[in-house]
Structure 1
Amino acid sequence: MTFYAEAKRLREDSRPAETTPFPLPPRAAPEAKTPDPAPAAQPSWFGRLLRRPLFLAAVVVPNVASVLYFGVIAAPVYTSTAALMVLNPKQNGPSLSSLLSGASGDSSEQGGYILKEYFASWDAFRKVETPLALAENFGKGDPIGRFGGVATGFRTNDVALWRYFQKQVDVKIDQKSGIVALNVSAWDAAYATRLTKVLLAAAIAHMDAMNAQQQGDFLQSAVARKAAIEAALRSDLAALAQFRNQTGTYDPKELYLSNLALMNSLTMKATELKSQGQALSAATPNNPQVENLASATRSVRQDIATTAKSFPAMARSSSRYEKLLVSRDNNITLLGQANLALQEAQAAAEKNRYYLNVISSPSEPQTPEGPERLMWIGGVLLATLLLWGLIR
C-alpha cells in the first residue's frame, strides 16, 4: 500500500504546472424581458393624401380658393335680355345649303350676324363708353371679376375696357328662326337694363345709316347720270328752239323736200309752156298768145332760179338741224336707259335694305343670374380630381 501511494505522489510531482487562463469580463446578468409596445395607429388614406404636397397643390388649394371666391367674394351679376330680328323682305328665300344644314338661310340670319359684329365693334363701344360711364360701372364688382382687377390683368386702358365690354355683351343667334338674343351683364340690375336699351337704340340707328349708305351707293351714280342726260337734253331742245327762231323754219328737211317738189313742178311747167309756145309759133307765127307763153315761161324759169338759190342755205341749215336732232334723239334714248338703270338701282337698294324688329324689350332683372356658384365649385372639384388622377 505504501509503494502504490509513493508512486502516485511521484507522478503528481512530475506533472507540469497548470496554467491559469486569462480572466474574462463578467457577464452581465440578463435583464428582465419587457413586453413590446402596442403598434401606433396608421393614418387614413385622406390623411396620407394631405401629407403629399402635390395633392395639396393640385386639389386642395384650387378647391379652397374656388369655395372662398364663389362662396364669399364673388359679387352678384345681373343680366338684361332682349330679343330682336333683322329682316329683309326681298331676301327671304332659304337656299339649298341652309335647308340641308337646318338653318333658316334667309336674311334674318345674315342680319343677326351683322348685329353680332356691330355689338362687338369699336363703334358701338365708343357710343356707350362716355355716356354710360362704362369704366366706373364695370369697376364696381369684386376684385377678381371687375374691370381693373384680376380679370383684366389690372389694366385700365381703353382697349382693356373694350375687351371687357365685349365679354359682358353676349349675342346668340338661333340658326333656325334667325332670332337674336342680346344678353348684357353688369354689377347693377338697373345699369344692365339701361345699357341694353342704349345698345338697341344704337343698333337701330346704325342699321338705318347702313341702309341709307347702301341706297346712296346704289342710287348716287344713277341719279347723277340721269341728271347729266336731262341737262344735255334741255340744252339740245333750247338749241333747236333757237335754230327755228333764227331760220323761221320748223323743219329744214320738210322745207327742202317742199322746195324740191316745187322746182320739179316749175320745171315741168316751164317745159310745157315752152312746148306750147313752140307749137303755137309754128302754127300761127303772128299769134299774140306766143308772146304770152314766152313771158310765162320766163317767169317760171325765174321762180326756178330763185328756188334753186335757196338750196345751199337750206343744205347748211339742214346739216346743223340734223346734228341738233341727232343729239336730242340720242339724249332721249340715253334718258330712257338712265331711268331704267335708276329703277334697277332702287330695286337693288331695296333688296339690300334691312329692318330691325324688336321682339321683346330689355328685361329688368330682379335677381342675379351669376356667378353660378355651385356649378363653378363642382366644376373645379371635378377638374382637380381628374388632374390628380392623371398626375399621381
Structure 2
Amino acid sequence: MKPLRSEEIEVQNVKLIRIVPDQEGGDASLQARQRSRSGFYRNLPFLIIVVLPTLLAALYYFGIASSRYQSEVKFVVRSPGSAASSELASLVSGSSIVRAGDDAYIAKAYMLSRDAMEQLVEKDGLRAVFDKAGWDFLWRYPGPFRSSDTEGLMKHYLKFVSIAYEQSSGILTLGFQAFEPEDARRMAGALLAHTEVFLNGLNVRAQNDAIKSAVAQVDDGKQRAYDALDKVTAFRNRENVVDPTKSSTGIVDSISRLSLETSNSNARLAELATTTPQSPEIPTLRTRVAALQDQIGKQRQLLGGTTASLAPRIAEYQRLLLEQQFAERSFMSGLASLESARLDAERQRVFLERVTAPDLPDFPAYPYRLASVLGTLAISYGVFRVFKSVFKDVWDHAKK
C-alpha cells in the first residue's frame, strides 16, 4: 500500500458526546461522600465525649475562670497557766502561758461557722470580696446554681476558707482565698481577730458566774460574822461579863492565893502545936484555916460543879468565839475569792499568738488551669474508652 503524503492527510477533530452518564464515576463520588459521612458518625462519640469537654474546660480555665489568691497565717491558741499554790510559785510561774488544746478545736469550729461568716459580712465587707469574681460564674455569688440566701452564702464561704490543726505542735493554719491579694490578707487577719474576740467572750459567762458566786460567799460570810458577833454580845449582856475566861483566871488566882495562905496558916498552926500547945493563937489559926478552906471551896464552886459556875458559861463563850472566828475566816476567804475572780475577769483569758502573720500572695494559687484541662482530657478519654468497650460488647451480642 502506498503511503500517504503529509499534504494528503486531513486532520479532523472528533468530539465525544456523553449520551448515558458515567456509572463508574458517579459511584466513586457517592462512595467518597458516604465514606466521609460514615467517618464523621464513627468519630462523633469521640468528639462529643472527649474533644468537646476538653475544649469547654480549656475555654473556662483559660478564658473565664478568675484567679484566686490565698493568704495563710499560722497561729496557736494560748491561755494563762493555772494559779500557783504559793506566793513564791506565783512569782515564778503565776504568769506562765500554756497551750489551750480545747480552745484550738473551738477556734477551728468557729472559723468554719455561720457566726464568723456574719461577722466578716457585717464588719469587713465579705460580700464585696465575693463580687470580684468577674465572669467566673462558678465562683460568683450568687451563682447560677446557688441561692442568694444565708445558707447559700455559707456554702460559698466554706469554699474560700480552709483550716488545719496540727495536734502535735498545736499550730493551726488558716487559709483564706480571694480574687485580689490584699483582700485575701485582710480577710485572714479579720477572721483571726474575730476568733480571738469570740474565744474571750466564751469566758465571760464563767467569769460572771465566778464573781456572782464569790459575792454570794462574801455576803454569806459577812452575815455569819455579824450573827456570831451578835451572839457574843448577847451572851455578855446576859452574863454581865465581858470575858468569862478572864474571870476564871481571877478566880484561879484567888484560889491559889487562898491555898497559899492556908498552907502558911497550917504551917504556923503545926509549929505552935509543937512548940507551945497551950498558945491562945492556935484556936484563931484553926478558925482561919477553916475559913480559908471554906473560901477555897466556894471559889472552886464558882469555877465548876454547878449550873451557876463559870465552866458552862466558859464553854458556851468559847463556842461562840469559835463560831465567830470561823465566820470571820469564811468572810476573809470570800473576799479573797472575790478579788481573785475580779482579777481573772479583768485579765484576758485566751489569745491567739501568731506564728506567722497573714501573708500577701504574689501569684494566684488557684485554679490549676493546665492541670485541670489535662485532667478533663484524661477523664473524658477514660469515659470514652469505657463507652466504646460497652457499646462494642452490646453490638457483638446483638449480632449473635
Matching residue of 2:357: 361
Identity, in percent, stands at 20
**Aligned ranges for residues 314-353 of structure 1 at < 5 Å?**
314-328=310-324, 330=326
Tell me if structure 1 keeps the 8 A contact 2:76–2:353.
yes
**Distance (Å, rounded) in 2 between the aligned partners of 1:241 and 1:322:** 10
Q: Which has the larger radius of gyration?
A: 1
Alpha-carbon contact 1:86-1:357 (below 8 Å) kept: yes
Alignment of 1:19-58 (within 5 A): 37-38=27-28, 40=32, 42-43=35-36, 47-52=40-45, 55=46, 57-58=48-49
Change (3 A) 1:113 1:273: closer
5+ residue gaps, structure 1? 1-30, 92-105
For 1:307 and 1:162, locate their aligned partners in 2 and report how far apart those are by CA, in whole Å.
Answer: 90
CA contact (8 A) 2:259 2:296 kept: no
Say which SS state the counterpart of residue 61 (structure 2) adopts: helix
1:205 maps to: 197
CA apart distance, 1:228: 5.8
* Structure 2 CA distance for partners of 1:290 and 1:112, relative to 1, 3 Å: closer
Shift of 1:253: 3.8
Does the 8 Å CA contact 1:240/1:321 hold for their aligned counterparts?
A: no
- Mapped pair 1:145 → 2:139: yes
CA distance, structure 2, for counterparts of residue 267 and residue 112 of structure 1: 80
Give the conservation status (yes or no) of the 8 Å contact 1:76–1:370.
Answer: yes
Counterparts of 1:334 and 1:49, CA distance in 2:
96
- Give the alignment's TM-score, normalised by structure 1: 0.64
Structure 1 counterpart of 2:112: 120
| Residue correspondence of structure 1 range 125-204 to structure 2 within 5 A | 125-141=117-133, 142-150=136-144, 153-175=145-167, 177-204=169-196
* SS at structure 1 position matched to 2:137: coil
**TM-superposition CA deviations, 1:145-166 (whole Å, max 9, x none):** 111103xx33111122122112
Please say if residues 222 and 345 of structure 1, whose CA atoms lie closer than 8 Å, have aligned partners that are also in contact: no
Q: Does structure 2 conserve the Cα–Cα contact (< 8 Å) formed by 1:273 and 1:296?
A: yes
Aligned partner of residue 156 in structure 2, secondary structure: helix
Distance 2:153 2:285 in 1: 115
Picking from 27, 46, 60, the partner of 1:69 is 60
Whether the 8 Å contact between 2:215 and 2:334 is mirrored in structure 1 is: no
Q: Does 1:231 align with 2:225?
A: no
Separation in 1 of the partners of 2:262 and 2:68? 114
Deviation at 1:336, TM superposition (A): 10
Q: Is residue 2:386 matched to residue 1:390?
A: yes
**8 Å contact 2:265–2:285 — kept in the other structure?**
no
Contact in 2 for aligned 1:173/1:181 (Cα 8 Å)? yes
Corresponding letter in the other structure for 2:63: V
Aligned-pair distance for 1:66?
1.7
Higher alpha-carbon deviation: 252-261 or 193-202: 252-261
- The secondary structure found in structure 1 opposite 2:106 is helix
Give the partner amino acid of 2:72: T
SS of equivalent residue, structure 1 residue 139: helix
- Alignment partner of 1:294 is 2:294: no
Residue of structure 2 equivalent to 1:17: none
Match of 2:366 among 350, 366, 370: 370
Distance in 1 (alpha carbons) for counterparts of 2:250 and 2:374: 107
CA distance in 2, matches of 1:263, 1:227: 46
Question: Would the aligned equivalents of 1:70 and 1:371 in 2 still touch at CA under 8 Å?
Answer: yes
1:56 to partner: Cα distance = 5.2
- Secondary structure of the residue that 1:205 maps to in structure 2? helix
Cα distance in 2 for residues equivalent to 1:46 and 1:111: 66
* TM-aligned CA distance change 1:204 to 1:35, over 3 Å: closer
Paired AA for residue 364 in structure 1? L
Q: In structure 2, how many angstroms separate the alpha carbons of the residues matched to 1:119 and 1:300?
A: 91
Report the residue type matching 2:112 in the other structure: A
Instruction: With the length of structure 2 as denominator, give the TM-score of the two structures.
Output: 0.63
Conserved? CA contact 1:266–1:301, under 8 Å = no
Distance 1:215 1:250, change over 3 A: same
Seen in structure 2, the aligned counterparts of structure 1 residues 322 and 65 have a Cα distance that, compared at 3 Å, is same
In structure 2, list runs of 5 or more residues that go unmatched. Answer: 1-19, 83-97, 389-400
RMSD across aligned positions (CA): 5.0
Is the contact between residue 149 and residue 155 of structure 1 (CA under 8 Å) also seen in structure 2?
Answer: yes
- Find the residue that maps to 2:124 and give its secondary structure: coil
Identify which of 76, 85, 89 aligns with 1:85: 76
User: CA separation of 1:233/1:110 partners in 2, compared to 1, >3 Å: closer, same or farther?
Assistant: closer
Instruction: Give the partner amino acid of 1:79.
Output: Q
Take 2:99 and 2:299, find their aligned partners in 1: how far apart are those partners?
A: 77
Structure 1 residue 214 displacement after superposition: 5.8
Q: Cα 1:259–1:75, aligned 2, differ >3 Å: closer, same or farther? A: same
Deviations 1:207-233 (A, max 9, x none): 33346666666x558845864675367
